[in-house]
Structure 1
């Protein structure tokens, strides 16, 4: 069950990142004028999708607290790096962001690091 809490933390976190990117992309360029900047941010903060990402951040925190009751931090925290892996794949899928060789090698190193750190 403790690994399920980590998985939920990762999934809620990744959802929030993808939704924020999507909605910010739809909102357009960040304005230059100070008043327009405030209006831009307030509009995003009231956006139901953005609010859902905040709700998921809260759920991620709750899931993480549950995981921390069961596992040592030094064991559990490296698994959070899987969020990088999921975000890269989903950003390539949804936003057509490039998956370069350097990014791929970096993700392989992240996964190898998780495997090594989870062993001891």
Structure 2
């Protein structure tokens, strides 16, 4: 199963990258007013934001690589690695988006990393 670890980590990183692009895109779009702007106009405004569009495309790549992983390894091994995307997103959000990273979140991130290490060793 460790032979697929690079592909699993690629899935994690593309998943995290997609989330970060979506966040960046939605920050640029601003608050949504479906009732005032109309559903179709709102969908077009969101989907055609370059960061949102890139994030959605990156999700497709992430999902494709995840499907390959699922065809090769046990889901009980592969799926917990996706929690590492939270670690990447939280660190990026702290350093780039200047979001809060409390002691409790840092502790939780530590547990996620520790748990993933245990799973990788199994």
Choose 84-93 or 43-52, whichever is displaced more: 43-52
- Cross-structure match for 1:42: 44
Please state how far the C-alpha of 1:3 moved relative to its aligned partner: 1.3
CA contact (8 A) 2:29 2:49 kept: no
Determine the C-alpha separation between the residues in 2 that align with 1:30 and 1:65. 33
Determine the C-alpha separation between the residues in 2 that align with 1:28 and 1:83. 25
Determine the C-alpha separation between the residues in 2 that align with 1:34 and 1:17. 26
Q: CA RMSD in A?
A: 1.6
Partner secondary structure for residue 96 of structure 2: helix
- Residue-by-residue CA offset, 1:28-48 (whole Å, 9 max, x unaligned): 2222x6142523332011122
| TM-score under structure 1 length normalisation | 0.89
CA contact (8 A) 2:22 2:56 kept: no
- Cross-structure match for 2:12: 10
Determine the C-alpha separation between the residues in 2 that align with 1:26 and 1:104. 28
Determine the C-alpha separation between the residues in 2 that align with 1:10 and 1:45. 23
- Cross-structure match for 1:90: 92
- Residue-by-residue CA offset, 1:61-97 (whole Å, 9 max, x unaligned): 1111121232111111111110010000011122100
Alignment gaps of 5+ in structure 2: none
Q: What is the count of residue pairs matched by the alignment?
A: 119
**CA distance 1:37–1:117, shift in 2 (3 Å):** farther
Please state how far the C-alpha of 1:11 moved relative to its aligned partner: 1.3
Q: Which runs of 4+ in 1 moved over 3 A?
A: none
1:62 matched to 2:64? The reply is yes
**CA distance 1:58–1:17, shift in 2 (3 Å):** same
Determine the C-alpha separation between the residues in 1 that align with 2:85 and 2:31. 26
Alignment gaps of 5+ in structure 1: none
